[in-house]
A and B are shown apart, each in its own frame.
Chain A
Amino acid sequence: MQDRKDLTDKQINDTLTNSILRTPLHWYILTGFFATIVLLGFVAVGILANRGLGMTGMNRPVYWGFFITNFVFWIGISHAGVMLSAILRLAQAEWRRPATRAAEVLTVFALGTAAMMPIVHLGRMWRFYWVFPYDWARGIWPDIRSPLVWDPHALSTYLIGSSLFIFVALIPDFAVLRDKTSGMAHSIYGALSMGFRGTVRQWRLQAIAGIILSALLLPVFVSVHSIVSWDFGMAMAIPAWHTTIFAPYFVIGAVHSGVAGVITVLILLRWLFRWDDFIRREHIDALGRLLFVVANAWLFFFALEFMFGLYHQEGTEVVVRDLWLFQTPWNVIFLVFIFTGYIIPVPMWLFRSVRRSFPLMLFTTILVNIGMWLERFLLIIPSMGRKHSFTFVWGDFAPSPIELMIVTATFALVFMLMLLFAKVFPLIPIFDIKEGNVLRDEIQIGRRTVQAVIREE
């Protein structure tokens, strides 16, 4: 059963621009709440900049802690945008339409947030630009053989590409907003819409640009998390890191957490802006099925990573698996990770009633991201703590209040930016929804009416 309602073009325009032209009270409350947390986060960053990395829980031999865990997590979330938008666009999946914009925007904000983490982790964060290749001030070049140098370049390429992708997709919607506003807003939206009038040629160009950018962004999307994985995979001395599967394992994990993140955001936006007619049960059902496939693929990669760690029975590798499974508190974290990341949500998605329930999908997708955050934590910390065979150089990690504050603030930052974006631009693509309406149909088979789509040759 589909619960869609036929809407006219005017109704679509009015409903989807409503969040921009009128501001509900709860938008102010939520934005203010998240902004406060972000402010506290910036205070924590200020303290860290002033007092140094001694304010964190990191110490020999664990030099990568919450910040790098959070970096990998947000890079992962950022993968949902291209995954949903580009792949589903190329695959002509009709149900993608209401989800693409939110996914793309989440990509950009998650990437920006991720990029801040290594900078904060530097301690002397004002020197972050040293990673870029210029030599006139220092007379030296960064070592381009280091994955830590590959990272910022891959990340910035992805950020620029994703931003362009969103901009191109937004042009027709800018034109709608231009025509519905006046004064300064009219001028800004007019400039952004680049003279879009909806001529056949403009639509064709916009569609071709979207397809080309989709195809170009796909390899970038795969490369970004692969390169992040090589930050770990190229490190020879750290157990459980030097393994060939890390690149696709990180990518599929990113898609797992990213798609879950998009579902979470879509359900929250639906509730916040009353988008019941646009984000419907069949959409989260389809996303839930996709997530089921992705989650199982992720489990397969996780199993391979785990088993091949034991394959050659090297002491330090076995020690890390021993920590995960048998040593407290790691085993508790491992249990929480595997239950929240897979065991609880995935069997639930087998049931159609769960996939079509907004509260249950919200619950399960939040669980997935709790699990995936902990997965990154487990990949990083125990391996660093036991990278040597000798107990006198073993160490553990406990986050300091500063780290907890900064990590919490990153979540608030992404939510706040999403809300701010929704205030200025439509978070559901207006033109895409209208196109979907044109291309949808129904056919009668016997006594049953079946949903249908128009396929152009």
Chain B
Amino acid sequence: MSTNHHHEPNIFQLEPVEVTHDVIARTRSRGSRYWGIVGLLAALLVIGLVGLAMRMGSDTTKLGYYAATFSFLFTTTQTAPLVSVAFRMAKNHWRRPIARASELFAIVGLFNLLIFIPLMLALPSTEGRWTIWIQAASWSPHVFDTMMLVSLVLCGLGLLWAGAIPDFASLRDQGGNRIHRTLAMGWQGTVRQWKIQRGLLGFLGAFYFMGIIWTHYVISSDFSMSLVPGWVDSIYPTFHALSGLQAALATMLITAYVLRRWGGYKDYIPMETFWGMSKIFIATSLLWFYFWWSAFITYWYGRQVGEQHVLQLINFGPYIYAFIIAFLFCCVFAVLLLMWNPIRKNPGALAAIAVMVLVGLFFDRVRLFVSSWSVSDLRNQHQLDHVPGTVLPEAPDIMIIVGLIAGAILVYMLASRLIPVMSIWEMRELKLYQRSRMLVRKKVMVLGKPE
């Protein structure tokens, strides 16, 4: 432990073989608490599906909460793999303990795809409305958005698989089932196989990065902005993607905390991982304000009637309380809390802030999607002539919100039974790159930085 009143550098202590055995054992063993939670989530999902059945077929202006929930789940879960992709590109070692947990969220994309189908069918045609598809056929958003989402889900699954091949091989060699044998694709760990795997990770990661940005673009435009006459906001898709990145970090902070606290991975997930994420987290919280402000000031300054009505609709009118909660939770409180080093060095505090940000994000999606779906039947208008009133959630909406969020968590938990939530090979690799040595009178960590 400590000598000369200095802390020992926080070096990952487990030996490679221990990592393999430990992670595989944790993946296979699940206690009654796990199955209890799974059962509860499954029950909530059923309730959500009942709520969805009750909502379908009703007036499209009532589908706002469903759209907001879809956007919330898409934003949080499908942007989460970016945490692994971006920091792998930047060659940050601290992302290793959360790399798999991040990529595992790609599986939730399948769930999102399923709940997207009814929403896509309910989306009004583009006739009489401005859309990003301009003069294209009226079914363009339905077809092209579906194609984009399907492509993104497939790319995410490919990324998850490519990142997990060596671990599938470890599971196979430790008495894994047929699925593991199939997914390992005859992996033996040859130099050539490693090179191909690295190339695949880079390639799919780059595509996922581009794919998620453009999918945010089409989802935010087609399922929100273009439903409101006169809402022409070129920064909105970027705001949607940026809040997605913030939500992805929040999701990963919570996941990392849960894995560390209850998943038995305390030795794997060091403080550096939380510290590294928290710095980007505060940056995204600041950017939330910057992107919102850039849109707001341009509209507010312009004083054009249509634009003022849009400002009223999504900010200061019927959804002002949702806006205030979003503004405070995603930006003001987040920045004011995260600016303090002791908070950013406390996993529990970070997880609590992350929960707050996700709550803020949900209300943000409410103000953006419920408001726009509430005017979705207006056509052949170039500006919003009046601001419709607040659409408050009814029982089916509450059921949908709770049920679909529970469904997403359920899918993730079930997937963690099949795929180790901790990347065995990345942690073993980390062990190779870490050393400790004396610098003057202090013991420090030496971190290998391969090109």
Asked whether, in the complex, the Cβ of B232 is within 8 Å of the Cβ of A312, the reply is yes
The interface bits of chain B over 105-117 (1 if a CB of A lies within 8 angstroms of the residue's CB, else 0) are 0000000000000
Whether B238 lies near A308 (C-beta < 8 A) is no
Identify which of residues 419-433 in chain B touch chain A, using a CB-to-CB cut-off of 8 Å: 432-433
Q: Among A21-29, A76-84, A229-237, A269-277, which stretch is in contact with chain B? A: A229-237
CB contact between A245 and one of B238, B286, B382 (< 8 Å): that residue: B238
* B290 on interface, CB distance cutoff 8 Å: yes
The residue that A234 contacts in the complex, of B7, B238, B301, with Cβ under 8 A, is: B301
**A residues within 8 A CB of B235?**
244-245, 247-248, 304
In whole angstroms, how far apart are the Cα atoms of A282 and B304 in the complex? 52
A139, chain B: closest CB distance, angstroms: 27
Q: Which of B75-83, B292-300, B319-327 contacts A (4 or more CB under 8 A)?
A: B292-300
Least CB distance from B35 to A in Å reads: 40
Q: Is A246 an interface residue when CB atoms closer than 8 A count as contact? A: yes
A454 to chain B, nearest CB (A): 5
Q: Say yes or no: A311 contacts B130, CB within 8 Å.
A: yes
Complex Cα distance, B304 from A312, in Å, reads: 15
Mark out the residues of chain B between 241 and 297 whose CB falls within 8 Å of any chain A CB in the assembled complex: 279, 286, 290-291, 294-295, 297
Contact (Cβ within 8 A) B448 A311 = no
Q: How many residues of B contact A (CB 8 A)?
A: 43
Instruction: Among B213, B217, B294, point to the contact of A244 (Cβ < 8 A).
Output: B294
A445 vs chain B, min Cβ distance (A): 5
Q: Please report the C-alpha to C-alpha distance between residue A230 and residue B301 in the assembled complex, in whole angstroms.
A: 10
Asked if B234 and A245 sit within 8 Å, CB to CB, the answer is yes
B432 touches A445 (CB 8 A): yes
State how many residues of chain A have any CB contact under 8 Å with chain B: 42
Contact A443 B213 (CB under 8 A): no
**B395 at the binding interface (Cβ < 8 Å):** no
Q: Within the complex, what minimum Cβ distance (angstroms) separates A266 from chain B?
A: 20
CA–CA, A245 and B7, complex, Å: 47
0 or 1 for each of B411-451: is its CB under 8 Å from A? (1 = yes): 00000000000000000000011010101001011111111
B134: CB under 8 A from chain A?
Answer: yes
Residue B9 lies at the interface, judged by CB distance under 8 Å to chain A:
yes
Smallest beta-carbon distance A212→chain B, Å: 12
Q: Which residues of A contact B442 (CB under 8 A)?
A: 456
Given contacts A222-B290, A307-B132, A457-B445, are A441 and B298 in contact (CB under 8 A)? no
- Return the chain B residue nearest A450 by Cβ: B448
Name the residue of chain B whose CB is nearest to the CB of A448: B450
State the CA gap A34–B131 with chains docked (Å). Answer: 52
Contact between A311 and B446, CB atoms less than 8 A apart? no
- A246 CA / B234 CA spacing, docked (Å): 9
How far is it, in angstroms, between the C-alpha of A301 and the C-alpha of B239 when the chains are bound? Answer: 12
Instruction: Please name the residue on chain B nearest to A242 by beta carbon.
Output: B302
Tell me, in angstroms, the Cα distance from A2 to B449 when the chains sit together: 12
A450's contact among B7, B299, B449, by CB below 8 Å, is which?
A: B449
Asked if residues A453 and B444 are in contact (CB atoms below 8 Å), the reply is no
Q: A90-B279, A245-B234, A452-B446 are in contact. Are A443 and B433 (CB under 8 A)?
A: yes
Q: Which residues of B lie under 8 Å from residue A1 when comparing CB positions?
A: 451
B249 shortest CB reach to chain A, Å: 16
Does A451 reach chain B (CB closer than 8 Å)? yes
Q: In the complex the two chains form, is B446's CB within 8 Å of A454's CB?
A: yes
Which residues of A from 216 to 235 have beta carbons under 8 Å from B? 219, 222, 226, 230, 233-234
Q: Closest approach, in angstroms, between the C-beta of B10 and any C-beta of chain A?
A: 7
Is A370 located at the chain interface by the 8 A CB criterion? no
Shortest beta-carbon distance from A13 to chain B in Å: 21
Q: Which of A222, A244, A301 has the most CB of B within 10 A?
A: A244
Q: Please pick, from B234, B382, B445, the residue contacting A455 in the complex, using a CB distance under 8 A.
A: B445
Query: Are A313 and B10 also in contact (CB < 8 A) when A248-B291, A443-B448, A453-B449 are?
Result: no
Binding site for B on A (CB under 8 A): 1-2, 90-91, 94, 219, 222, 226, 230, 233-234, 236, 242-248, 282, 300-301, 304-305, 307-308, 310-313, 438, 441, 443, 445, 450-457
3 tightest A-B contacts by CB? A308-B234, A245-B234, A247-B294
